[in-house]
């Protein structure tokens, strides 16, 4: 799993090289990142060089309007799958912890998670991204990888890497800005800047307890066995 230098993007990386039983995830197949609104000319060229065929954008309409993606003029599929039923801001208003945010995501947006996984199956290379690449991207990519047989420890470690990849200056600015509106919020810093391994472990355990496994979670929400076989073939070797 390698971090890529795509100028103007944050948290951009390849999920290749993760342990999956006796095999590994393929490189150059599934990428994940924050938004692409600030790509400069070097970043656009670097992005183009990856040969990405599909971009799955998990942001809502307001986020996309405020920070539209920058691409080259290559034909690629842009799949919009807004992943929260409410707005991102609502989680700061309610001051929920990450565990609760993720519970709502997997419970309330299950059909949309399946849409994302179907997009990954449909075209590769594929990029999944949201605004920062931490929560919506973190949860959907974790479920996708776990469903494809990636080792649980490797799935959790891939999620947890985000925290170290977010620039400290970005974190300070974001926390200070949100704190102006929510001065007493207890979970603000976790929501805005953290990706604790224990939180992802708990989310995956909850899928095990409710459905049997992340793979069975996708199956319970409409994904066929044939699609799951295609997911394995696309992501692992």
**Structure token pair of residue 103:** 């519970």
SS3 (DSSP) at 132: coil
Domain boundaries, the chain: 2-228
- What confidence tens digit (pLDDT) does each residue in 160-212 have? 999 999 988 887 888 788 888 778 877 778 888 899 999 999 999 999 999 99
pLDDT confidence of residue 79: 97
pLDDT value at 93 more than 80: no
pLDDT confidence of residue 56: 98
Count of C-beta atoms within a 10 Å radius of residue 186: 10
Q: Cα separations (Å) of 156 from 18, 34, 118, 136, 195?
A: 11, 18, 22, 15, 10
**DSSP assignment, residue 25?**
B
Q: Cα separations (Å) of 185 from 63, 94, 103, 188?
A: 22, 9, 20, 6
pLDDT confidence of residue 2: 76
What's the first-to-final CA gap in the chain, in angstroms? 15
**Structure token pair of residue 216:** 């069975």
- What confidence tens digit (pLDDT) does each residue in 9-57 have? 999 999 999 999 999 999 999 999 999 999 999 999 999 999 999 999 9
Instruction: Name the fold adopted by 2-228.
Output: 3.90.190
| Neighbour-count burial of 164, counting CB atoms closer than 10 A to its CB (0-12 exposed, 13-18 middle, 19+ buried) | exposed
DSSP 144-213: HHHHTT--HHHHHHHHHTHHHHS-HHHHHHHHHHHHHH-TT-SSHHHHHH---HHHHHHHHHHHHHHHSS
């Amino acid at each position: 799993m390698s971090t890529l230098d795509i100028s103007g993007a944050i948290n951009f990386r390849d999920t290749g090289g993760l342990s999956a039983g006796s095999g590994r995830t393929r490189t150059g197949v599934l990428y994940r990142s924050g938004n692409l609104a600030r790509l400069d000319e070097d970043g656009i060229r670097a992005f183009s060089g990856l040969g990405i065929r599909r971009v799955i954008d998990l942001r809502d309409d307001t986020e996309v309007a405020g920070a539209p993606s920058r691409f080259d003029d290559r034909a690629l599929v842009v799949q919009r799958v807004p992943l929260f039923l409410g707005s991102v801001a609502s989680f700061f208003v309610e001051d929920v912890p990450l565990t609760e945010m993720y519970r709502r995501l997997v419970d309330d947006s299950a059909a949309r998670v399946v849409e994302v996984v179907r997009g990954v199956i449909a075209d590769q290379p594929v990029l999944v991204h949201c605004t920062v690449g931490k929560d919506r991207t973190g949860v959907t990519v974790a479920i996708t990888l776990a469903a494809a047989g990636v080792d649980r420890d490797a799935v959790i470690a891939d999620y947890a890497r985000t925290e170290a990849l977010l620039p400290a200056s970005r974190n300070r600015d974001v926390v200070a800005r949100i704190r102006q509106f929510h001065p007493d919020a207890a979970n603000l810093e976790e929501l805005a800047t953290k990706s604790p391994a224990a939180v992802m472990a708990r989310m995956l355990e909850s899928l095990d307890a409710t459905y049997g496994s992340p793979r069975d979670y996708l199956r319970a929400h409409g994904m066929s066995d044939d699609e799951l076989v295609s997911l394995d073939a696309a992501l692992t070797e």
